[in-house]
Structure 1
Amino acid sequence: MTPEEKPAPKKTFSWKDLNKWKVAFFVLIGMVVGSTFFLFTRITEKRDFAKHDIPALVEREGNPVLNIRSNKEQINSLIDFYLDEYQKDSDVKYDFRLENEALLTGEFKILGFPVTFYLYFDPYVMDNGNVQLKAKSLSVGTLGVPITEVMKMIQRNYDMPKWIEIDPKEETVMLRLDQFRMQNGLFLKADKINLVDDEIQVSLYLPESKEKE
């Protein structure tokens, strides 16, 4: 056998090499567990959030003076206009739209990276003319975050109008039209919301005291 044909020496595996792999493995496990714990604590931590003083109820006695029939496209235009004005000085933005469900879209950060969520609701008209949005499903990429925890985050960090009440435990959002004031005392009541058939009806009321003037 010539010198060129000599087999290469076999590389031996030492305990020192094994220890290096063990250290690397535990470091990796530590990073994964640490990141998971950080994510969990950031989502579930309890923070003080500003509670709005509930305004006095709008006078609800009166007769409808105008019945309004609308559709999703028209309502979405009104929502966009309202939110653009309401959020113009806010650093945290969110969108709300009516599709075949009501959809709230926003963003929060995990480990410094923005994550977009899509929270879907079914709307229900209450007997008093308010609207309840019941959370139906949630999409947050590949993260398995419960709806309740995302709604807690929304309640803590998002600036909502005073007449919108969020209940993370019940996974609902109440649109308190009985606290939504309009000029000259006019107020609204929802009559029908059928998003699939694109039928939305509300009534505009003149307060009883105005009728007697």
Structure 2
Amino acid sequence: MNESEEKKEVKKTNRRRKKTPEVKKSINHWKVAFLVLIGFLIGSIVFVFIRVTQVREPNYKPIPELVEKEGTPVIAIQSNKKQVNALIDFYLEDFQKGSEITYKFYLENEAMLNGTFEVLGHPIQFYLYFDPYVMDNGNVQLKAKSLSVGTLGLPIKEILKFVQRDYKLPSWVEVNPDDSTVLLRLDQFRMQNGLFIRAEKINLVDDDIRMNIYLPKDSTDKKEGSN
């Protein structure tokens, strides 16, 4: 092979090299977007869990001792859900004046607490359902049975912790997240002139609610002494 032929061969080799396409690494944009979305969802779930379960200076009220009140029943009240709901609405509307976080409590075939909490700046509504039980001492225990809170799978215990921590509750309402109950301490409820209430029966299915109003023992003793 002479010199001219060698030059021709080199030129052909160089042309082949130029025509060979360079292999570039392609980026799968759909895969990246999917991973970013998964990361956002996981981060959101973690944020919601931390927000609901975090403890920020819990305002746990000391639980007063049970007061066994003695007295004489003077008025027996037989009511229904509609009448009791109207009374609860009136009481809570006045009690929650000026409060940033409000809630509703009412009776249907079960007792229901309806409220909201914020997730990523958006209010999330929840419904917590209870079965009410009249206790021997005249107080009422609400046993949480189910929870509806959109698509978030939060346990009842955590919602009750949120209610206990962030909601303005009457002093005679005792929230117990560990056993999923709310106790209405009627023995701590004060009425004018010392009158007090004891629950006698709560049957929501048959719409039969009964309570007795009592005069305190001191009042009855004074009346008997004045005769």
Q: Could you state the TM-score of these two structures normalised by the residue count of structure 2?
A: 0.83
2:114 is equivalent to residue 123 of structure 1: no
Higher RCO structure, 1 or 2 (CA under 8 Å, sep 6+):
1
Question: What are the ranges of 5 or more consecutive residues in structure 2 without an aligned counterpart?
Answer: 1-22, 223-227
Deviating more after overlay: 122-131 vs 23-32: 23-32
Mapped pair 1:182 → 2:181: no
* Structural mapping, 1:67-78, within 5 Å: 67-78=76-87
Alignment of 1:125-144 (within 5 A): 125-144=134-153
Assess if the C-alpha contact under 8 Å between 1:125 and 1:191 holds in 2: yes
Q: Which amino acid aligns with 2:88?
A: I
Kindly indicate whether residue 209 of structure 2 is the aligned counterpart of residue 200 of structure 1: yes
* Partner residue in 2 for 1:10: none
Partner of residue 15, structure 1:
25
Shift of 1:114: 1.1
How big is the alpha-carbon RMSD for the aligned residues of Structure 1 and Structure 2?
1.9
Structure 1: state its 5+ residue gaps: 1-12
Give how far 1:31 is off. 1.0
Aligned to 1:104: 113
- Alpha-carbon distance, 1:59 to partner: 6.3
Whichever structure has more helix as a proportion of its residues is 2
Cross-structure match for 1:156: 165
- Per-residue deviation, residues 158-209 of structure 1 (Å, max 9, x unmatched): 0000000000110000000000011111100000000000000000011111
- Would the alpha carbon gap of residues 78 and 14 (structure 1) be closer, same or farther in structure 2, given more than 3 Å must change? farther
> Which of 46, 59, 62 is equivalent to 2:55?
46
Q: CA deviation at 1:15?
A: 2.1
Partner of residue 44, structure 2: 35
Match of 2:16 in 1: none
TM-score after normalising by structure 1: 0.89
Q: Are the counterparts in 2 of residues 54 and 162 from structure 1 also a CA contact under 8 Å?
A: no
Q: CA separation in 2, counterparts of 1:196 and 1:167? A: 25
Amino acid at match of 1:40: F
1 CA distance for matches of 2:65 and 2:180? 25
Instruction: Give the counterpart letter for 2:99 in structure 1.
Output: S
Amino acid in structure 1 at the alignment position of 2:205: V
C-alpha distance after superposition, 1:101-144 (max 9, x if no partner): 00000011111111100000000000000000000111001111
Residues matched between the structures, number: 201
Partner of 1:6: none
User: Which letter maps to 1:42?
Assistant: R
Deviation at 1:21, TM superposition (A): 4.4
Contact 1:56–1:179 (CA under 8 A) maintained in structure 2: no
Identity of aligned residues (%): 60
By how many angstroms is 1:55 displaced? 5.7
Residue equivalent to 1:7: none
Deviations 1:37-76 (A, max 9, x none): 1111111112222233556766601111111100000000
1:8 alignment counterpart: none
